Amino acid sequence: MGKGGEDYGRRENFGSESSSSREVFAAWAKDVRECEEKYGVKREYGLSAGEVEKRRQIYGWNELEKHEGPSIFRLILDQFNDTLVRILLVAAVISFVLAWYDGEEGGEMEITAFVEPLVIFLILIVNAIVGVWQENNAEKALEALKEIQSEQATVTRDGTKVYSLPAKELVPGDIVELRVGDKVPADMRVLSLISSTVRVEQGSLTGESEAVNKTTKVVPEDSDILGKKCIVFSGTTVVNGNCICLVTQTGMDTEIGKVHSQIHEASQSEEDTPLKKKLNEFGEALTAIIGVICALVWLINVKYFLTWDYVDGWPKNFKFSFEKCTYYFEIAVALAVAAIPEGLPAVITTCLALGTRKMAQKNALVRKLPSVETLGCTTVICSDKTGTLTTNQMAAVKLVAMGSRANTVRTFNVEGTTYNFHDGKIQDWPMSCMDANLQMIAKIAAVCNDAGIEQSGNHYVASGMPTEAALKVMVEKMGLPNGLDSGAYSDSSNVLRCCQTWNKLERRIATLEFDRDRKSMGVIVSSTSGKKSLLVKGAVENVLERSSFVQLLDGSIVELDQTSRDSILQSMDEMSSSALRCLGFAYKEDLHEFATYNGDEDHPAHELLLNPSNYFSIESKLIFVGLAGLRDPPRKEVRQAIEDCRAAGIRVMVITGDNKNTAEAICRDIGVFRPDEDISSRSLTGKEFMELRDPQSHLRQTEGLLFSRAEPRHKQEIVRLLKDDGEVVAMTGDGVNDAPALKLADIGIAMGIAGTEVAKEASDMVLADDNFNTIVAAVGEGRSIYNNMKAFIRYMISSNIGEVASIFLTAALGIPEGLIPVQLLWVNLVTDGPPATALGFNPPEKDVMKKPPRRSDDSLISAWILFRYLVIGFYVGIATVGIFIIWYTHDSFLGIDLSGDGHSLVSYSQLANWGQCHSWEGFAVTPFTAGSQVFKFDMDPCDYFQTGKIKAMTLSLSVLVAIEMFNSLNALSEDGSLLTMPPWVNPYLLVAMSVSFGLHFLILYVPFLAQVFGIVPLSLNEWLLVIAVAFPVIIIDEILKFVGRCTSGFRTSGARKPAKHKAE
C-alpha cells in the first residue's frame, strides 16, 4: 500500500515500462522549473494533442477503478455458509422426503407432514434475501467516492486555454488553472499564484480543521501529506484565490485513489460480528449434540425395527421392519427440529431492528443491523477530533481589550461553542456602556470580514472562513453601544444584525487581500460622515509590528511603547499556550492618498491597490486596539461522555489530522489527559507512531492516547493492530481520509452533518448530531440490547433443551411419540416468538455503563447457565412425558379428576410395550370424547396407542407451551429473582404471553387447525392439570438463581483468572 502521499510523481518516467517500474519523482521537493522539465511541458503552451494521447496510453483515464463485487449467485450461496442454516436445510429435505413417502401411502395426516418442510424452506429463503440485500450495499462507499471527483477543468493545451474539459481526460503534465470554488481535478504541483494567496479546503482528505495556504515553494522530500504545501489534492476545494498548476498524478495514483484502494482492501477483510461468531460456535456444538442424541435414540430403539435369533451363539435370521425404521427416523428428525431454535434468526433480527429504532431516537442511525450488538462489546473508541469531540465551528474564547493605561489590558471570557450567537455570552461584559475601545474592536471584527452566517433549521451555518464567522458571532454577543439602534440599519430577517449595522455605518470601498507575507487583511471604509479609515485584522505579531500607537479604554490614542508591546505579547502567549489562534485588530484614520477615494478605478489612489507590494506601506503606523483568541471548541457534553467511557472500561483514543499542540489542548480540556499530566509518552504524531519499534505495546496503555497529524494509513494501522490484539474497535470519522479505517473497524461511525458521503457509505452507523456523546449513549444501548438478546437466547435454548429431553425420554422409555415435528415447529416459531421478542424490551440495568465491556470471546452461555437450563430442560422433558403417561395410567392426579372423557386406563408396562399390543389377549378399550369428537376403537383396540394418543399429545403440547410461558418470566433476569424483578417491569412480555396463549387456544379450538396439528380441545380440569405440572418450573429456577447469586463471586473470580492478554 502506498505511504500516504510519499510516492507522488514516482511514475513520471515517460516510456513504455509498466507503472510499477516507473522511477520516483518527488514533485513537491523540486522547484517549478525542474517540474516543468521533468514533465516536458511549458506552462504557457501546455501539452500537445499527440503528447496527451501518448501519455493516456501509459496512465489511462483520470478516474477511479470500478471493482466488481461478488455475483448475486455467490452472495446467495454465502447465505448458506452457516452451521444452523445447514442443519435446518438437511432437516427440511429429510422432512420433505418423509412427507412425500407418507403421502404415497395415502396417510390422513399428509398435510401436517408438508407444513414443516415448507415453513423451514420459507425461513431459509427470507434469511437469504435479507442477507443478500445487506451485502449488496457493501460497495456503495466506492461509488460515493467518485461523486467527490471534479467533473471539469480549465486546461492549457497547444497554447490555447480549453474551458470545461472533462476532468477524466487529464494526464500527468497538463497545465490547469484553478479558481475560487473549483474542485481540484487531480493531484497537482502549484506552479504560480495568480492571486496573492490561494487557500484550499482539504480537511475531508487530511483532517485539518482549517483551509490550508498553498505555495510554490519546495518542501522536504520526506514531508507527509499535510506538509506538502505546494501540492493540491484531487477532490479538495479552492476557497480563496486562483493559481496555475501542473498535473502530477491522476486516477488511482492520486491520494483519493489510494483511499479508494484502501476502502476496497478493507471491505475484503470484513469479519463476522462477535454475536455471529458465538452463534456459529453454538451451531457447531449443536450439530455435535444432535448427532450424539440421534445416534443414542437410534441405538435405544434398534430392537423395534431390527430383530434376530441366536443360533449356536451367533446372531442369525435377521428381521428388518422398514415401517418401524422410518418411524424412528422421523423421531430423529423431530429431535433435530426440537434442538434447533428455528425462530432465533427472526427474533434476533427483530430485536436488532427494535434496537436501531431506539438508537435513532438518540441520533444514532444504524446502517447495518449486527452493529447494534457489536457496539455492546466495544473496548476502544478511536475518535476523530474535529467535528466529533469539537463542534467543527470556530468560536472566540477570549477577547483582550486595552485598559485605561497603555501597559494594561482587560480580558473577557467568551462563552459558546457554535455559530449560534444566543449560545453563551461574554462574561463581565459592560452591556449598557461599551467604551470606545470595545466599539472599535466590534467595528473591525464586523467590517474587515468576508464571512456570513445563516440559520438552517435548528443549526447556524457559516459561509467563508470559519475564523471570520467566529468573529461575527463574537460581535453579535458584544451587542451595540447605547444610542445605536440595529433596527434602523439592519434587515429584521438577518441573524447578524449588529454586524449589518456596523457595515451600514462603515461602507467598505476597497479590500487589501490577505497574503502570507503580511499575514493580515485590511479594508478601507467610508463612514456615513464621508471620513475614510483603514481597518486591519491579522496575526498579532505582524499587526503589532506595523502599529505605532495604541487606543485606550476611553478612545484616547497614545504611543505604543515597549512596555505596552510586551503586555500585549504576554496576553497572546498565554492564549497560544492554550492552543488558541490569536488575531489582532488595528486601524488607521490618517489616509492622505485615500481622502477622496470612493472606489473609482480612475482615482490615482486606485493604482496603489492594484499592486499588493504597496499594502505594507498602506498598513503602517497603525493604532492597535486589541486581540481575540479563537479555537474549534470542544462540545460541552464530551467531558462527561469521556468519564462515562472510563467508568465503562472503554478506552478513548483521539486520532486527528490536526497539529499536535491544538489536539493536546483539546484533549486536556475534555479529560482524555489531566491538566498538568506529562503526556510525552501518550501523545504522538502518526509518523512517530509508525516509527516505534513496538507500536502494539504503545496501544496497550490503559489511559487515553492521542495521535495527531495522522494520515489514512496511520488510522488503518492503529485499527488493525488493536483488532489483532483482541480489541473491539469503534472508529469515528467524517472525511474521505477516514473511510478506509471506518470500513476496517468493527464499528465504523460517520458524521451525519459534517460527514462526506464516502464516510457515511463506508460506515456501520451514522451520527445525526455529529456528537461523541451519542456514541457513548449508543454503546450503553448496545450493551442493553445484548443483555436482552442473551435473555431470549437463554429462553429459546432452554426451551429447545426441554423439547430434546422430551423426545429423548419418549424414545428411551419406549412409549408412543408425544410430540410430532409440526407441533415442535409451531412452538419454536410461533408460540416462543412473541415472548422471545418481548424480552428484547427488558429495561436496561442501572449499572450497564458501570461494568467493563464483555470480551468478544466471552461465552454466550456460561457453564453455570448451561447447567441451569439442563436442569430446567430435564424438568420440561419429565413434565411433557409425565403428563402423557398420567393421562394413560391415572383417572385423577393431584386431586384433579381426569375421568370425565371416559378414556380407558392402561398400566405403565402396557404403555411402554405398546408395540406388542396385538399379542395381548382380551385387550379392549372404551370410546372417549374430546370436545365434540368421539374416538372409538372397536375395529382395532391397539389403535388406542396411535390415533387414541391425540388427547395425551394435546396435554403434552399444552404443558410445553405453558412451561415455556412461565420460563419466559425466568428469563427476565439472569440471576435476579422474580421478587426483585417482577413480570410487570416488562409489560410487553405479559402481552406477548397472552398472545402466545391466544395462538395456542386458536389451534386447539379451531377444528381445521386442530386437525393440521393433530390435537383436540381440553376441558377445564385438564387445563388445571397442565398448569399444576407447568408451574414448578418457576420454583426450580428461583432455587437455581438463589444458588447462582450465592456463588457468583466464586464463579466470577474463577472465570476471570485465565482472561489474560492475548499477547501474553
Which residues are designated catalytic? Answer: 384
Residue 763's nearest CA partner among 738, 737, 778, 742 is 742
| Number of CB atoms found within 10 A of residue 564's CB | 24
| Number of CB atoms found within 10 A of residue 654's CB | 28
Distances in Å between the alpha carbon of 910 and those of 96, 928, 947? 33, 19, 16
Residue 961's nearest CA partner among 921, 994, 912, 939 is 994
CA distance 448 to 471: 10
CB 635 within 8 A of CB 390: yes
CA distance 1016 to 662: 76
CA distance 525 to 598: 9
CA distance 139 to 132: 13
> Strands 212-214 and 187-193, how do they pair?
unpaired
**Measured at the alpha carbon of residue 705, what is the angle toward residues 700 and 711, in degrees to the nearest 5?**
105
- For 452, the grid coordinates are 456570513
- For 743, the grid coordinates are 470500513
Query: Which three-class secondary structure state does DSSP give residue 861?
Result: coil
CB 242 within 8 A of CB 181: no
- For 202, the grid coordinates are 482539504
CA distance 946 to 941: 10
CA distance 655 to 450: 32
Tally the residues of the chain: 1064
Sequence-distant (6+) residues with CB within 8 A of 1026 are 883, 955, 958, 959, 962, 1018
Q: Which ranges constitute the DSSP H helices of 731-862?
A: 739-744, 757-762, 772-813, 821-826, 833-838
CA distance 380 to 771: 17
CA distance 266 to 712: 12
Residue keyed to cell 432455587:
1039
- For 787, the grid coordinates are 443483555
Residue keyed to cell 456528537:
771
CA distance 188 to 150: 13
CA distance 172 to 52: 9
CB 990 within 8 A of CB 983: yes
Give the full edge-to-edge strand order of the sheet including 212-214. 212-214, 198-201, 237-240
Give the full edge-to-edge strand order of the sheet including 747-751. 364-366, 765-767, 747-751, 729-733, 380-383, 651-655, 705-708, 683-685
CA distance 272 to 282: 14
Burial group, residue 712, by CB count within 10 angstroms (0-12, 13-18, 19+): buried
- 3-class SS string, 480-501: CCCCCCHHHHCCCCCCCHHHHH
Q: Which residues of 607-630 are buried (b: 16+ CB within 10 A; e: fewer)?
A: ebbeeeeebeebbeebbbbbbbbb
Read out DSSP for 539-566?
EHHHHHHTEEEEE-TTS-EEE--HHHHH
- For 668, the grid coordinates are 486536556
CA distance 603 to 734: 49
- For 961, the grid coordinates are 407451551
